[in-house]
Amino acid sequence: MRLRRRNANALVLVLVAGLFAQGPRQLRPGFNLFSRDQDIQLGREAAIEIEKQVVVLNDPELEAYVRRIGERLAATPEAAGFPYSFKIVHDTSVNAFALPGGPTYLHTGLLAAADNEAQVAGVVAHEIAHVALRHGTNQLSKANLIQLPAILAIWAAERKGSLWGQVAQLGVGLGVNSVLLKYSRDAERDADLLGTRMMARVGYDPVEMARFFEKLEASGGSRVLQFFSSHPNPGNRVKAVQAELQYLPAGPYTKGDAREFERIKRRVAALPEPPKPMKTASPQR
């Protein structure tokens, strides 16, 4: 009898533990034909191409601001140790993108649209999450299952020549619809989730990321079109972040230094009109 009750208690314990065992969702990179090193190589070479096509802002104060935010997030374990870099594109459309292996870009229009530092950090965390989860090369791998193995094997053996050049020959570009930069809703949901964890870890209010995305989408218009065509809304962003909060440190969370942010916003507002880029304002092939 006593034994049976003990068994019953144990059963209740197992059931209760089961309810909580669901825990935070595990996030790992999916199928990929590229190695981590090849992600880094590909992103470095693609960054050189992109920087020929956009206007990289040369403003040490703004660059330092974005780099400081980015480097804090990049140092979290969730960022998976890729060699991140952070640059600002002088372009008034609201956009951000990251290449495999770490090169990350924020448009001046995005800085102008943000309400606080945590919102800027939210976008950076979301982009870092795409890199850490290797979404770009995952998509590229799935889209080129037949051709890629030989290309990657030859490149790995010879370690010379342009990996990006080889990949570009498959018809892969860096434009709005690039397989490297246009994500699925599932990838978006995962990037939000991993970004949320990064933000919480360094003390930014993670809800600000989702709030900013929702605000941008509600604002509509052509200035945000490119961001949402490559980062489609997975739905219920604020609710998803709030649901994740139960697994995260209790805070306190910050929206960042408000006075410094105002100074940054004034500086962005005072920038001259962006010079005409070589081709278009957005990354193209």
Is position 131 an interface residue for Zn ion (rule: CB under 5 A)? Answer: no
Angle, CA of 246, 252 and 257, to the nearest 5°: 130
| Contact of 55 with 91, CB cutoff 8 Å | yes
Least spacing, CB of residue 191 vs Zn ion, in Å: 5
Q: Which residue is nearest to Zn ion (CB)?
A: 231
Question: Binding mask 167-186 vs Zn ion (x if CB under 5 A, - otherwise)?
Answer: ----------------x---
Q: Taking CB under 5 A as the rule, does residue 231 contact Zn ion?
A: yes
Residue placing its CB nearer to Zn ion in the complex, 179 or 191: 191
Query: Nearer Cβ to Zn ion, position 49 or 188?
Result: 188
Q: Report strand pairing: 103-107 vs 85-89.
A: parallel
- 191 touches Zn ion (CB under 5 A): yes
Within 77-180, where are the H helices? 108-113, 117-132, 135-143, 148-158, 163-168
- Total binding residues toward Zn ion, as defined by CB under 5 A: 4
Residue 168: closest CA among 144, 134, 145: 144
Q: Does 189 engage in binding with Zn ion (CB under 5 A)? A: no
Q: Does 210 interact with Zn ion (rule: CB under 5 A)?
A: no
Q: How many CA atoms lie within 13 A of 80 on its CB side?
A: 21
CB nearer Zn ion, residue 163 or residue 207: 207
Bridge-based pairing of strands 103-107 and 96-98 is: antiparallel
Specify the residue, 143 or 271, whose C-beta has the smaller distance to Zn ion: 143
Which residues of this chain interact with Zn ion, rule CB under 5 A? 183, 188, 191, 231
